[in-house]
């Protein structure tokens, strides 16, 4: 039987807790974001007086008053009107006995300070959600409940959802954008998505409660106001129930988008060959062979991993996919992200792919392991060759199985005692360093030439771990690339050193 999305599932309330203890999820703070407009005013009143579904497993239920906390962010964009909005929210919170936190942020100045990136509307949204997250975390700390159990409520309605659908369609988007506003994203819950703005206004009138009006909501220079006043009336003349219809459509698209997102996440893990700070490399050939619907999402997720603040559009994703299909080339993307296909790999870098610093040296105990960086680890251990085993055959089979990511060497030739072990020195490639690559029968070669022949991009070469017998010792293994001939396993080798780059 197909699984049911979370919003339709019910959570069984547990009664097996010791007497007097309450599930932390049911006493965690609930932050209500209130601007003073009709929708957010209605949300405050409903949270204080009625049952709401805040996706905590209880379904439609009353929220304990002591959990509620109002947040109002004054953007300081509308002068006296903004001050009166702030006072209105404070008074309304006092009326219902709910604590109220006011945050004042000069959004216009902040937008300019950020180099003019985006606009004041986007900056204001980011400021509001950041303030809500900060408040939820602080309240969780005071109460002693997990941060994840807190809820942040916004007053988005079915109208907002329909308008966002058209806004994203006008800009150009995919299924994620057309799914519009989700009912829940992490701790942020929108319990009024099934209500219309008109219904909430009627609710407030019946209660005798006034609200504040924002004059900028009528300024059609803003896309949302244009959709609200110019697009929606035309569409509603054709279908008066378009808001409800689009809400159902958004639910369907949201569920399908979540499924495809999960599939793309798995594909991204399978395609990833290397991760580092501001760097991600993927198997370009396998990506090119993927279904395009998954490939687009993989590229989007990968770019956001490299640069979470990048504002991506469909044309950016398509530009990267064209590189992958061509098998070569490069392109610059928003926030100075560099994408290039080299040697069958797609490299995504923040900061236009600037060269990395050379890997600093460190000791590797034998046996033992050590972290190279956040995603790579070097491991060393000793392997005893049984009397009936052929050590040379064993080394060749091991190298083939691990595809170069692990190697077997002669422990004595590496300066490692078969009984007590020892230590090896690891660092990035040295300038003009020379080795005798395994398979070249003792001929020497510059390490820089070896890395070039191995098709390792120049920007990545400084971070390749090179294992030496000591700080001044000879090269034993260029991790993941090639071992040195002088440390190779011979027919007389009885103790082997296994080095692995995980």
Please tell me the predicted confidence (pLDDT) of residue 22.
Answer: 52
Please tell me the predicted confidence (pLDDT) of residue 356.
Answer: 61
Domain(s) labelled CATH 3.40.50.620 in the chain stretch across: 21-250
Is the peptide bond between 148 and the residue preceding it cis, with omega within 30 degrees of 0?
Answer: no
Whether residue 323 contacts residue 329, with contact meaning beta carbons closer than 8 Å, is answered with yes
Of 175-189, 204-218, 268-282, 349-363, the poorest mean pLDDT is in: 349-363
Q: Which residue has the higher pLDDT, 419 or 456?
A: 419
Whether residue 40 contacts residue 217, with contact meaning beta carbons closer than 8 Å, is answered with no
- Residues 420-449, mean pLDDT to the nearest whole number: 89
Q: Which residue has tokens 């992490």? A: 186
What pTM did the predictor assign?
0.61
* Fold that domain 21-250 belongs to in CATH: Rossmann fold (3.40.50)
Whether residue 368 contacts residue 481, with contact meaning beta carbons closer than 8 Å, is answered with no
Q: Which residues contact 4 (CB under 8 A, 6 or more apart)?
A: none
Domain(s) labelled CATH 3.30.465.60 in the chain stretch across: 277-350
- Residues 316-326, mean pLDDT to the nearest whole number: 92
Task: Report how far residue 79's alpha carbon sits from residue 74's, in angstroms, rounded to the nearest whole number.
Answer: 10
Q: Which residue has the higher pLDDT, 358 or 47?
A: 47
Query: Counting Cβ atoms within 10 Å, is residue 179 exposed (0-12), middle (13-18) or buried (19+)?
Result: buried
Q: Which residue has the higher pLDDT, 22 or 434?
A: 434
Provide the 8-state DSSP code for 461: G
Q: Which residues of 56-89 are buried (b: 16+ CB within 10 A; e: fewer)?
A: bbbeeeebeeebbbbbbbbbbbeeeebeebbebb
Task: Report how far residue 308's alpha carbon sits from residue 207's, in angstroms, rounded to the nearest whole number.
Answer: 44
- Residues 427-435, mean pLDDT to the nearest whole number: 89
**pLDDT > 80? residue 457:** no
Q: Which residues of 405-437 are buried (b: 16+ CB within 10 A; e: fewer)?
A: ebbbbbbbbbbbeeeebbebbbebbeeebebbb
Domain(s) labelled CATH 3.50.40.10 in the chain stretch across: 362-501
Whether residue 447 contacts residue 478, with contact meaning beta carbons closer than 8 Å, is answered with yes
Task: Report how far residue 54's alpha carbon sits from residue 153's, in angstroms, rounded to the nearest whole number.
Answer: 8
pLDDT digits (tens, 9 = 90+) for 354-409: 456 788 889 999 999 998 876 688 999 999 999 889 999 999 888 888 878 899 99
% of the chain exceeding 70 in pLDDT: 92
* Fold that domain 277-350 belongs to in CATH: 3.30.465
Please tell me the predicted confidence (pLDDT) of residue 374.
Answer: 67
Of 90-99, 291-300, 361-370, 453-462, the poorest mean pLDDT is in: 453-462
Region 362-501: CATH code: 3.50.40.10
Q: Which residues contact 410 (CB under 8 A, 6 or more apart)?
A: 487, 488, 489, 490, 493, 495, 496, 497
Please tell me the predicted confidence (pLDDT) of residue 488.
Answer: 92
């Amino acid at each position: 039987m197909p699984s049911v999305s979370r919003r339709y599932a019910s959570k069984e309330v547990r009664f097996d807790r010791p007497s007097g203890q309450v599930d932390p999820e049911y006493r965690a703070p609930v932050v209500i974001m209130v601007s003073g407009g009709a929708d957010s005013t209605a949300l405050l009143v409903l949270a204080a007086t009625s049952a709401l579904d805040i996706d905590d497993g209880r379904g439609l239920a009353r929220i304990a008053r002591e959990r509620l906390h109002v947040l109002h962010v004054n953007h300081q964009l509308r002068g006296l009107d903004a001050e009166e909005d702030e006072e209105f929210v404070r008074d309304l919170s006092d009326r219902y006995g709910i604590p109220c936190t006011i945050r004042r942020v000069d959004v216009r100045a902040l937008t300019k300070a950020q180099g003019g990136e985006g606009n004041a509307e986007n900056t204001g949204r980011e400021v509001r959600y950041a303030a809500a997250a900060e408040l939820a975390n602080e309240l969780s700390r005071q109460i002693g409940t997990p941060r994840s159990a807190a809820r942040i409520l916004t007053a988005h309605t079915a109208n907002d959802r329909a308008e966002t659908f058209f806004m994203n369609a006008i800009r150009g988007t995919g299924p994620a954008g057309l799914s519009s506003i989700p009912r829940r994203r992490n701790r942020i819950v929108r319990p009024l998505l099934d209500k219309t703005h008109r219904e909430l206004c009627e609710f407030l009138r019946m209660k005798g409660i006034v609200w504040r009006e924002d004059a900028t909501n009528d300024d059609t220079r803003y896309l949302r106001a244009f959709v609200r006043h110019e697009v929606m009336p035309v569409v509603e003349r054709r279908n008066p129930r378009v808001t409800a219809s689009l809400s159902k459509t958004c639910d369907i698209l949201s569920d399908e988008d979540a499924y495809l997102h999960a599939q793309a996440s798995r594909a991204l893990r399978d395609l990833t060959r290397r991760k580092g700070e501001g760097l991600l490399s993927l198997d370009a050939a396998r990506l090119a062979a993927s279904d395009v619907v998954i490939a687009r999402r993989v590229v989007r997720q990968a770019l956001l991993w490299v640069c979470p603040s990048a504002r991506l559009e469909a044309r950016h994703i398509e530009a990267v996919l064209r590189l992958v299909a061509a098998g070569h080339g490069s392109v610059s993307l928003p926030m100075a992200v560099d994408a290039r296909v080299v040697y069958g790999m797609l490299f995504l870098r923040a900061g236009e792919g600037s060269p990395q610093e050379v890997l600093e040296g460190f000791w590797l105990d034998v046996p033992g392991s050590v972290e190279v960086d956040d995603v790579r680890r070097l491991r060393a251990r000793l392997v005893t060759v049984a009397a009936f085993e052929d050590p040379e055959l064993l080394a060749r089979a091991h190298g083939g199985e691990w595809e170069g990511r692990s190697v077997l060497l002669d422990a004595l030739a590496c300066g490692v005692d078969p009984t007590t072990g020892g230590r090896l020195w690891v660092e990035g490639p040295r300038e003009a360093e020379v080795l005798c690559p395994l398979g070249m029968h003792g001929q020497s070669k510059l390490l820089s030439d070896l890395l070039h022949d191995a098709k390792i991009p120049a920007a990545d070469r400084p971070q390749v771990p090179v294992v030496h017998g000591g700080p001044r010792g000879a090269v034993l293994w260029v991790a993941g690339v090639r071992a040195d001939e002088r440390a190779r396993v011979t027919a007389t080798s009885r103790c082997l050193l296994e080095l692995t780059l995980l």
